[in-house]
Amino acid sequence: MSTAIKVENLGKKYIIQHQQQSRYQYNSLGESLSRGIKSLGKNLLHPFHSNTKAESAEEFWALKDINFEIKQGDRVGIIGRNGAGKSTLLKILSRITHPSTGRITINGRVSSLLEVGTGFHPELTGRENIFLNGAILGMHKKEIQRKFDEIVDFAEVEKFLDTPVKHYSSGMYVRLAFAVAAHLEPEILIVDEVLAVGDFEFQKKCLGRMEKAGNEGKTVLFVSHNIASIRKLCRVGVLLIDGQINLFSDIEQVISKYLTTSTPVNPCYKSKEEFRMITKQYFVNDASVLNSSENLCGTFHIGETINFKFRIKRGLLKKTMGGIKAALEIRSNDGLKIANIISSDCSFQIDSFDDQIGLLINIEDIRLYPGEYILSIWVGTLDSHETYDYANECIRFEIVSGGKLTTRNLPRNDGLFFFTPKWSTV
């Protein structure tokens, strides 16, 4: 079987600049202009006097010493914690980012779906973007026309085909983007975690399409935190840890290694406020897991009270004011979605606020089986069409055996929920 992708000694280095100032210092446009004019005046009066703040530079290797070879027709799952280098690797393989070191050999036409909005022009319609993407992939107009109806049917956006995609919801955007990427006959299909935006039926449809592509001899690279999806689709796995390949092997071996090198329990989260403040309309500022006394806690027994507390802040990106809602997503450490707790389902309305609002979700009797669980927080519009912020895997907590409900040791593979219903004879 011929080689589709060969990577040799690949590395990607970034230079991070550090300036000696408060990490939470904000400057308005007026302040920045004023400071610039003052600096210019000082330079004219004292041209040989340096008044710049001390800066230091740090090298950060997002990827280092990456070597692997993927055969034609392989379905490869790339897994790892946040910040491991997964997305950077896919961007390099998609020729969006240049590597700092190393060599990549790719045999075949590559189509990639990395993040919402990639490859689409917001002012063009859905129809125009289909032809634009096909042209970028080197396809002739007749080839695209032959696949056009199939793409539209898969994406389910026929009604909005002649609407500029800037008016699409994130779900519609992703449906069309995946349909284009998967149907324009690439030899290599690269898909990032972006499918998490779609609903369950759409995700199932996409996994089926990627499986079909693999069976047809196409090469598929898939990044996801959903281990169940990775296990179903992929035969080969790559485990990335801190920018380096920890294991390249059979998918079951890679998943097993990933789960045994899990991140420690982390019951609190703080956002990178400086960035989110200027790029978001609303964002999750901080979050924590609390016990019944509302003290920070990462470990709970079955049947204990658990509280999730988080704050939503308003950013500087101002849009039309409208209602918002929030949701908590709980997954097991193998990526299985356990619960999606939505504020509107609980008849809870998030009132308008000027700067920030704190929210507390109380579960008095947690019935999850022992194991590690991961919490993500979503904030968006009332109709769910727009996402304001998604704090992915921001909190980790664990449930352990023991407590008031049972003293026996409960194996994790016995189930998901521990019920103690009332028994009687009849």
DSSP calls for 228-248 = HHHHHH-SEEEEEETTEEEEE
Type of residue at 23: R
Q: Is the pLDDT of residue 316 over 80?
A: no
Cα 42 to chain center, whole Å? 46
What is the spatial distance between Cα 239 and Cα 166, in angstroms, rounded to a whole number? Answer: 36
pLDDT in tens, 237-290: 999 998 999 999 999 999 888 877 756 678 888 887 666 666 678 889 999 999
Q: Which residue has the higher pLDDT, 309 or 121?
A: 309
Structure tokens at 425: 């004879």
What is the spatial distance between Cα 191 and Cα 379, in angstroms, rounded to a whole number? Answer: 24
What is the spatial distance between Cα 209 and Cα 183, in angstroms, rounded to a whole number? Answer: 9
Residue 388: predicted pLDDT: 85
3-state secondary structure of 414: helix
Mean pLDDT, the chain, rounded, equals: 83
pLDDT in tens, 64-110: 999 999 999 999 999 987 778 998 999 899 888 899 999 999 998 88
3-state secondary structure of 323: coil
The answer to pTM > 0.85 is no
Strands laid side by side in the 75-79 sheet = 110-113, 188-191, 219-223, 75-79, 236-241, 244-250
104 CB neighbour count, 10 Å cutoff: 14
Sketch out the chain's domains with CATH numbers: 60-262 (3.40.50.300), 268-400 (2.70.50.60)
